[in-house]
Each structure stands twice: as structure tokens, then as C-alpha cells.
Chains A and B, each alone.
Chain A
Amino acid sequence: MRQFIVLLQKELIKIRRDSFLPKLILSFPILIMLISPMLATMDVRNVNVAVVDLDHSTTSHRIISHIKASEYLSLVGATSEFDLAMERLEEGRVDVIVQIPDHFERDMGVSTPEKISIIANAVNATKGTMGTQYVIQTIAHALVEVRNEKNPNQMSELVTVQNRFNPTLNYRHYMIPALMIIIFILVCGFLPALSIVEEKEVGTIEQMNVSPVSRFTFTLSKLIPYWAIGIFVLIAAMMIAHLVYGLLPAGSFWVILLGTVLFILTISGFSLTAANFSDTMQQIMFILFFFIMIFILMSGLLTPIDSMPDWAQTFTLLLPPRYFVDILRSVYLKGTTLSELWQDFVALGSFSVLFNILAAVTYKKQA
């Protein structure tokens, strides 16, 4: 026991005396939580719209003023020459062109008019589709308004949309749980692995290996500080989510805590296993980086698993972060309870046992 306490003390002294690590541990979660949600947003703003108005009617003017008024769209010019607008689109100064055909207003009252055409630059697929959607909505609004003024009795809205759990379709609320997971992967995955490989590089691990310290004690003394840091990071990240983005978990904090503990155990066990197979910092960095890329891209952190091809969906079952993503998002946004998520918890629990056994077995005191 005394052995274990001094090993733990040694780890804490090392973290404290390190000129870089404590600052990183403190600032990393704060920076990621503060900055990333602002950048990693799927909301498209500042869509540049050019209107080619061939109609010059009240309706077309109404459409233009609606576009002007939209907070997502900005009108960069109304011309009557399509070629000029197209040229600007090619230059990249215009994202979407709206062409209102001649006699649009007149025909609207009588029969089916020639259609308004929308041409979008879809190099940036998100901006293309989202921008088009915004433009369609804005035009529809303008037309409904015009129609209502003419025939006030007509039924205007036929469809209503309600977004449950994230009523304002705020992409940040979807992203914040994912960002927390990325922080856990980096703090509780990278750091203990680097710390073990550092001992290999410096040679201190040899002194440990010729001592009577068991590999279990040694490994545990490496992990406990980072587990504690992981819990601290969770609380810090949740506070930032609440104070800055007004996001409070809809479900129980204890369910989140349980999930976090299991995930931290899993990811640290995983990284220790990787550390056992690396002798240098470069090796461990590349190994971890490879897996972390897969975790981030394939665990449903950024893109939903449901929209992946079938083989990829099957593959994600092997990725521990996938289950934690599900837990954290469900509890945070939907308020799902422990009993509804039992499958995720069982999977995460099994992974944590598996990886930690693997880490203990592959750590060789003798080669």
C-alpha cells in the first residue's frame, strides 16, 4: 500500500512540475468548449444571393425585400441580366442566383406561371443545400404574404414542423456532447499513454522493472491521476455548457457520470495497451492518432451513424466511443434514463474490462 501511495505521489509531482502539462489539462477543455461550438456549426449564414428580376412587379420586389431582411441571406445585387449574375457565381462572389421570370405576377393570378429558378454553387455541399433551403423558405414566405393580401380567406399554411429535443435546430446542442467526448479521448487517452512511453524513453521504467513493484500497481498509479482529471474535465465542460450555451442535461447527472467513468476506464485501458506496443513517442503518437481519427469519424460524433453504409454501421459496433456518444446525447438532449440505455452501458462496461485486462496482460516486466 505504501508502495502504491509513493507511486501515486510521484505521478502527481511529475504532472505538477511539468511546465506544460498542467496548463494543457486546464486550458484544453475550456478552449475546446468555448471555441469549437462557435466554429463547428452547421448553420449557414451570409449566403450571398443575386436576384435576376425580369418581372419588375410588386411581387418580385416583395421577394427581394424579404431576401434583404433575412438574417441568413445577404443580397449582393439585383440585376436583369442573368449572364452577369452567373459570372459572379463563377467568381465565387455569389452563392445562389434567384431568377424571377417575366410576367410572373401576372401569370400567378391567372394560371400556373413560369417557375422561379434557383441556381446554387454547391462546391460547399452544406452551404449549397442549406442556402437553397433558406432561399426557398424566404420566397415561399413572400409569396404567401402576397397571396394572403389578395385573398385573405385562403388557407395559407398546410404543413407545420416541430423539432423535438432540439427545438431551434441548434447544431451546438448536438455538438457539445460530442466535443466533451473528444476531450475525454485526448485527456484520458493520450496523456497516460504518453506518460508510460516517456518512462520507456527516459529509461526509468527499467528501474521499476527491476524493483518488486507489480505491474498492476505500477499501471494503476499511472491511471488514477488521469481518471481524476477526467472527472474534473467532465464537471468543467458541463459547467461551460450550462453557463455559456445554456445547455443543461435533460436527464440525470448520475447517468452521465456513470457513462463517463466507464468511458474513461475504456479509453485509458485502450491507450495503455497501445503504449505497451510502442517504444518511442513517435510510435505512440501515430498509433493513437490513427485510432482517434477512426473514433472521431466513425463513432457518430460528427455525422450520424444511421447515414453510414451498412458495413460501416456494423463496424461501429466495435468502437467504444459510439456507445458513449449515444449515452451522452440521449441523456443530455432527450433525458433518457439508465434503464433505457442499458445496452450501451453493458457494451461500454465490457469494453472497459476487456481493454484493462489487455493492458495488464500485454505489459511485460520481462521480455
Chain B
Amino acid sequence: MNVIEVNGLSKSYGKVKALDSVSFSVKRGELFGLIGPDGAGKTTLFRLLTTLINPNEGSATIEGLDISKDYRQIRPLLGYMPGRFSLYPDLTVEENLNFFASIFGVRVKDSYDLIAPIYQQIEPFRKRQAGKLSGGMKQKLALSCALIHNPSVLFLDEPTTGIDAVSRSELWDMLKNLKEKGITILVSTPYMDEASLCERIALCNEGRILGIDTPKGIIKQFKSRLYAISADNMYSLLEAARQVEGVVECYPFGQMHHLIADATFDTRSFMDQLESLTNLTIESAKPTIEDVFINLMKQ
């Protein structure tokens, strides 16, 4: 059975269509990622699914409960960690945790086993006010508070934005552990490199979903030819390559430029046309999720 079922969900703010008939489903115990740049509609989707706002069109269910009609029954089932730190900054770590436990009518010790791996890392600072914690510690506390009532679905809106690389990888480890305990997790991130850490991902852009699959499956969808090119003057190369026939898209990718080509593209004539550039190289490259994303956006 699917824990989250979304059917043609749309939400507009005035004339801006933040979400345009989005549909997907998440299975029990799945770690599902929403990948997309800022403004893709990820946060709107989260706010809809956490019953904070109502959709204009379409419907969605969580554990079979409708997000508009049954929001009262849904709320105790979900844990929500918004993109912005939103615990009480004046309360200490310990007070925040106790507060959220009491709000949901549970005791900290009841679900301590679930949060222990996360909470133990910040327990030495339990007397410190939450507002004075570092970014990574704030996230851990927020995650602990979101988990304190043992929710069946966990919503994490950009949990890795604005924290350091070590904390980021720690957070993904925590999510994997939680998943193993049977919690369904919906997580959003603007970082393409984090997509491979999810079981299934949905690529979204401008309120629409471009594709849903496992990270590997998404990469397999990439049917075009992909090359990595370089030259001494990388900027002129980018400009020039975009003019060549058969080039669908050319964009910087790390130290190289990635070039998506269609069937008419020929490497030899490409080299000939750009011979004025020194140290020009071209080799075929393996597509990553970012390449898939750019390719899907182009279509």
C-alpha cells in the first residue's frame, strides 16, 4: 500500500502557478527524494501534504486520509521539519524536546530509542538555548523534535541546505537508519549529488514533475549522447560549442563542460569547427542526474 498518494495536485498563488497537476506515490518505508532547483514548488508540495494549505485542484492522501478533509487525523501521523529552523530559540534543547513531546501527548522516554542516535549527539548541550546552537546541531534537534511522537511519515524540506559537508553526510546516514525502522521519508533537496542517496526520486522544475524513478533508472532514461569537452579558454569554448550543429545543450560541469548532442552531431566536424581553440579535447561521458535533469528541462 502507498503511504503517500498524490493525484493531479495544483496550487496557485495569484497568477503564479506554484504546483501544476503533480502526481506521484510513495511506498511504505521508502526514502523518496524531491530534487529540483529553488522555485520548483517543493516547499509548496510539503505545505500541502502537511495540511498547512489547501490545494486548488487535485487530491492527496496520507495513510489513506485525505489532506483537506481528514487533516485532524493526519497531523499526529506526520513529522515535519520545515526548511527554516522553527523551534523555539528561547527554549533550551531539552525544553524544546519535552515541549514537542507534550504537545503530541507523548513522553520523551517512550520514543527515546528512535531519537537516541540523533539526540545523543546534542545531549551534551541540552541546557543550551536552541537559538544558540550551530546549524548542524539545530538540524539534529529539529529532527529529534519531528520524530518525538513516532510519526509514520517524515517530511524534511531541504534539510541539508546551509549546513556543512560533514553534517550533511551525517544527516543522510540518520535518514537511512530511520528508513530501516520503517518510517516513510519524503525529503527535498536542491543538490543533485544527494539524489543518489534516495531510493526513488522525482525531478521537479517550475511546479511540474519531469520524471520519477530510482536514481539509476533516471540515469538510464538518458538516451542522448553526452560528451565532456575542455580547452584552455573554457568560456570561449562554451560560447562556440553552443553554435555547432547537433549540440542540444552545453553547460559547465565541474572542470569540464558537458555537451548533450543529437544524432546529427559528429565529433570530427566539431573538432574542425573549433580548431582555433588551443588544447581542445572531447571525450564521451557518463550521464549523471544533473545531466538528466538538464536534458529533461530542455524537452
- Residues 332-355 of chain A: 1 if any B CB is under 8 Å from the residue's CB, otherwise 0? 000000000000000000000000
Given contacts A2-B102, A202-B86, A212-B105, contact A13 B54 (CB under 8 A): no
Q: Which of B95-113 contact A (CB under 8 A)?
A: 95, 98-100, 102-105
Q: Which residue in B51, B54, B85, B98 is a CB contact (below 8 Å) of A210?
A: B51
Please tell me if the beta carbons of B91 and A203 are within 8 angstroms of each other in the complex.
no
| B contact residues around A149 at 8 Å (CB) | none
A225 to chain B, nearest CB (A): 14
In the complex, whether A204 has a CB less than 8 A from a CB of chain B is yes
Are A367 and B54 touching (Cβ within 8 A)? yes
8 A/B residue pairs, CB under 8 Å, sorted by A: A5-B102, A10-B95, A13-B95, A14-B88, A207-B86, A210-B50, A210-B80, A212-B103
> Cβ of B274 < 8 Å from any Cβ of A?
no
Whether a CB of chain A sits under 8 angstroms from the CB of B265 is: no
B53 touches A210 (CB 8 A): no
Q: Specify which of A5, A204, A210, A213 is in contact with B88 (CB 8 Å cutoff).
A: A204
Q: Which residues of A202-235 have CB atoms within 8 Å of chain B's CB atoms?
A: 202-204, 206-213
Consensus secondary structure, chain A interface: helix
- Residues of chain B contacted by A204 (CB below 8 angstroms): 86-88
Verify if A3 is at the interface (C-beta below 8 Å from B).
Answer: yes
- Closest-CB distance, A16 to chain B (whole angstroms): 9
Q: Does B75 contact A (CB under 8 A)?
A: yes
Q: Do B91 and A10 have beta carbons less than 8 Å apart?
A: yes
* A209-B52, A210-B75 given; A6·B89 CB < 8 A: no
Between A6, A7, A18, A207, the greatest number of chain B beta carbons within 10 A of the residue's beta carbon is seen for A207
Known: A6-B103, A204-B88. A17 touches B129 (CB 8 A): yes
Interchain residue pairs A-B with the least CB separation, the first 7: A203-B86, A6-B102, A17-B90, A367-B53, A210-B80, A211-B103, A14-B90
- In the bound complex, CA of A6 to CA of B98 (Å): 9
Q: Does A366 contact B (CB under 8 A)?
A: yes
Alpha-carbon distance A62/B91, docked complex (angstroms): 74
Q: A183-206: which have CB < 8 Å to B?
A: 202-204, 206
20 further contact pairs, Cβ within 8 A, besides A203-B84, A206-B80, A367-B53: A2-B105, A3-B103, A3-B105, A10-B88, A10-B95, A14-B90, A17-B129, A202-B88, A203-B86, A206-B86, A207-B80, A207-B100, A209-B52, A210-B51, A210-B75, A210-B80, A211-B103, A366-B51, A366-B71, A367-B52
Which B residues are in CB contact (< 8 Å) with A208?
A: 103
Residues of B within 8 A of A206 (CB): 52, 80, 82, 86
Chain B, Cβ-Cβ closest to A5: B102
Quick check: is B76 within 8 A (CB to CB) of the other chain? yes
- State the B residues within 8 Å of A (CB): 50-54, 71-72, 75-76, 78, 80, 82, 84-91, 95, 98-100, 102-105, 129, 145
A3–B91 alpha-carbon span in the complex (Å): 16
Give min CB distance, A111 to chain B, whole Å: 83
Could you tell me the distance between the alpha carbons of A17 and B102 in the complex, rounded to whole angstroms? 21
Q: Which residues of A are at the interface with B, using a C-beta cutoff of 8 A?
A: 2-3, 5-7, 9-10, 13-14, 17-18, 202-204, 206-213, 366-367
Measured in the bound complex, the distance between the Cα atoms of B91 and A7 in whole Å is 12
Contact A210–B78 (Cβ < 8 Å): yes
Which residue of B has the minimal Cβ distance to A211? B103
CA–CA, A212 and B101, complex, Å = 11
List B contacts of A207 (CB < 8 A). 80, 82, 86-87, 100, 145
Taken together as a complex, chains A and B put the C-alpha atoms of A6 and B80 apart, in Å, by: 20
Cβ–Cβ < 8 Å partners of A13 in chain B = 90-91, 95
Distance in Å: Cβ of B285 to nearest Cβ of chain A: 41
Residues on A with C-beta less than 8 A from B85 are: 203
Residue of B nearest to A217 (CB): B103
Q: Chain B contacts of A209 at CB under 8 A?
A: 52
CA distance A17 to B72 in the complex (A): 33
Answer whether A10 and B99 are a contact pair too, CB < 8 Å, given A3-B105, A210-B52, A366-B54: yes
Q: What B residues does A17 contact at CB under 8 A?
A: 90, 129
Does the CB pair B54–A212 fall under 8 Å? no
CB B150 to nearest CB in A, in angstroms, measures 14
Flag if A366 contacts B86 (CB, 8 Å): no
Q: How far is the CA of A204 from the CA of B131 in the complex (A)?
A: 12
Cα-based distance from A203 to B80 in the complex (angstroms): 12
Complex: A366 Cα to B85 Cα, angstroms:
20
Given contacts A14-B88, A17-B129, contact A212 B104 (CB under 8 A): yes
- Do A212 and B53 touch (CB < 8 A)? no
Residues of A within 8 A of B91 (CB): 10, 13-14
Residues of B within 8 A of A3 (CB): 102-103, 105
CA A6 to CA B85, docked complex, whole Å: 21
Q: Which of A5, A7, A202 has the most CB of B within 10 A?
A: A202
A316 to B73 alpha-carbon distance, docked (Å): 46
Q: Which residue of chain A has its CB nearest to the CB of B155?
A: A210
Residue of A nearest to B89 (CB): A202
- A211-B75 CB under 8 A given contacts A203-B82, A366-B52: yes
